Each structure stands twice: as C-alpha cells, then as structure tokens.
C-alpha cells in the first residue's frame, strides 16, 4: 500500500508497505518543468547533504522539478536502518518515483544511489512509468557493493560474526559505526548487476574520484564497460574523493545534469 500523507511541515510522507513492514518515507518534491531531477542518495546518507541541496537549488533557479527523499532508516524517514536491504530501499525508490515524478526525469545517484538508479531503470524497462528516463548521472556509483566492496573484502572473522550473530558494527569515516546485517548481504545478492550487460535506456554520465577510498575507480570502469556504449561518458576526477562535494565537484555534477536537457 502506498499512500501520500501531507505533513504540517515539509517534507511530505509516503507510506510504503503494509502491516509491520509499513514505514513513512520523507519526500521533498519541488514542482517545476521537465526534465525533472530525481535524487537517490548513498548508504547511510540523507537528502539534506551538500550534493542533494545543490541540485535542488539548481532546479529552483531554472524552474525545474526536483524530487528528493530519504530511504527508510535514513534522515527524516521512519523505519530502522538495521532493517534496511537493497530490495527494501529499491521498493521505496520505485514507489517515490512513480508517485511524485511526471514527465522525463534525470536520475542522479550517489554511491549506493548509483546502484539504486540502475535498478530503478531496470524496473522502469519492465513496467514503464509516466516519467521516462531522460538521462542518468552517477556519482561514485557502487552497484553490487554489498558483495564486491563489503563481503569479498571482509576478513573471515567479520564474515563469521555476520553469519552467526546476524550483524556486525563497522566503523565509518563519516560518523558513528553502522550495522552490516546478514540480511543486507544476502538480499544484495538478489540485485547484482555487474555479471552482464546493464541496460538503462538513456544516456549515462559517471563521475568518479581517482582517490576514492570507498569505491575504487576500477569499480566505475567495470560498470562503464557493462553499459550500452552509445552514450556513456566516464569522467575521472584525479584528485577526487568519495563524496565529490567540493565546489568544483558540484560544478561538474551540475554540468552533467545540464547536458541531459
């Protein structure tokens, strides 16, 4: 069940799921002309981050629509982070997109949001929405990160802790330690993309920092090779980190979005 519920303040809340799985998803939808912008944030981040706010401001200046939201367990949305899985967050992404987006959209995905953007595109190819994809901008995209960048890099001790206890707390450079659950890892395997061609049905721009400690540049390169070759551009930012939130990085992101119309 998906039901839009107006809040006294912004954001608007969209109820997703039924029964115990129900959670309110916080959405900020700026009205405007198409192509609109649809923001998909990263793992353990929220829609008030530097890049998301900059994109919203850019859209406002140009009279463009812009939709941002927080996954369950993130930011202003309900639900617990520890219950999150790729499938759960994808369900939310698809529901928000179908509920709030009208007309062509440029989807911007950061880190895990890049994986979400690719999965969203796959869902839209299966069942088209009122809002077709005009283009996609991926910032340090991390498809398959639960398997390729987490599980395969974990020590045997960490793997055993996850398998036996169901969760392991991992330190973060960006704040408090966060849980990695067995459910996150196992569900992630149902959504892996890098084993074959990744069809998205629109132009793609990828921005990747060469000094990214979280998503190595080789990961972005592997993704680019699996995307259709007709309109895919990978920009390597030699001194760029994972966040790509410096003024010059934001300018590159906005330029890539501007290319899409």
* pTM higher than 0.85: yes
Q: How far apart are CA 39 and CA 60, in angstroms?
A: 14
* Rg of the chain, C-alpha, whole Å: 17
- 74, two tokens: 């993130």
**Mean pLDDT in residue range 154-178:** 91
Burial class from Cβ neighbours inside 10 Å (0-12, 13-18, 19+) for residue 234 reads middle
Burial string for 95-113 (b: 16+ CB within 10 Å, else e) reads bbbebbbeebbbbbbbbbb
Say how far apart CA 64 and CA 254 lie, in whole Å.
Answer: 13
Q: Which tens digits make up the pLDDT trace of 28-79?
A: 999 999 999 999 999 999 999 999 999 999 999 999 999 999 999 999 999 9
* pLDDT for the residue 229: 75
- Indicate the helix (H) or strand (E) that contains 237: strand 232-237
Structure confidence at residue 253 as a pLDDT band (50, 70, 90): very high
Distance of alpha carbon 117 from alpha carbon 218, whole angstroms: 19
The CATH number covering residue 251 comes to 3.40.50.1820
| Full residue range of the structural domain in which residue 181 is found | 2-259
Q: How many domains does the chain have?
A: 1
Structure tokens at 226: 């699996």
Helix (H, G, I), strand (E, B) or coil at 184: helix
Q: Report the percent of the chain where pLDDT is more than 90.
A: 88
- Give strand pairing partners of 179: 169
To 5 degrees, how large is the angle CA 54–CA 56–CA 60? 115
Band of the pLDDT at 1, cuts 50, 70, 90? very low
What is the Cα–Cα distance from 86 to 63, expressed in whole angstroms?
A: 32
In this prediction, residues 197-222 reach a mean pLDDT of 96
Indicate the pairing of strand 204-209 with strand 64-69: unpaired
């Amino acid at each position: 069940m998906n039901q839009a519920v107006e809040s006294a303040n912004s954001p608007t809340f969209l109820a997703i799921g039924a029964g115990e799985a129900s959670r309110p998803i916080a959405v900020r939808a700026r009205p405007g002309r198409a192509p609109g912008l649809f923001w998909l944030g990263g793992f353990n981040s929220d829609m008030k981050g530097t890049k998301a706010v900059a994109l919203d401001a850019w859209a406002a200046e140009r009279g463009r629509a812009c939709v941002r939201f927080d996954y369950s367990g993130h930011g202003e949305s309900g639900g617990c982070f520890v219950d999150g899985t790729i499938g759960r967050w994808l369900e939310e992404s698809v529901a928000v997109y179908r509920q709030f987006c009208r007309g062509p959209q440029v989807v911007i995905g950061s880190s895990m949001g890049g994986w979400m953007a690719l999965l969203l595109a796959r869902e839209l190819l299966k069942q088209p929405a009122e809002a077709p994809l005009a283009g996609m901008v991926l910032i340090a995209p991390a498809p398959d990160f639960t398997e390729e960048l987490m599980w395969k890099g974990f020590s045997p001790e960490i793997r055993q802790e996850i398998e036996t206890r169901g969760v392991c707390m991992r330190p973060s450079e960006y704040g408090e330690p966060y849980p990695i659950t067995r459910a996150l890892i196992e569900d992630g395997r149902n959504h892996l993309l890098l084993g074959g061609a990744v069809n998205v049905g629109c132009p793609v721009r990828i921005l990747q920092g060469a000094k990214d400690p979280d998503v190595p540049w080789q990961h972005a390169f592997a993704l680019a090779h699996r995307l259709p070759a007709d309109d895919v551009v990978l920009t390597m930012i030699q001194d760029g980190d994972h966040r790509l939130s410096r003024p010059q990085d934001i300018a590159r992101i906005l330029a890539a979005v501007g290319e899409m119309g």
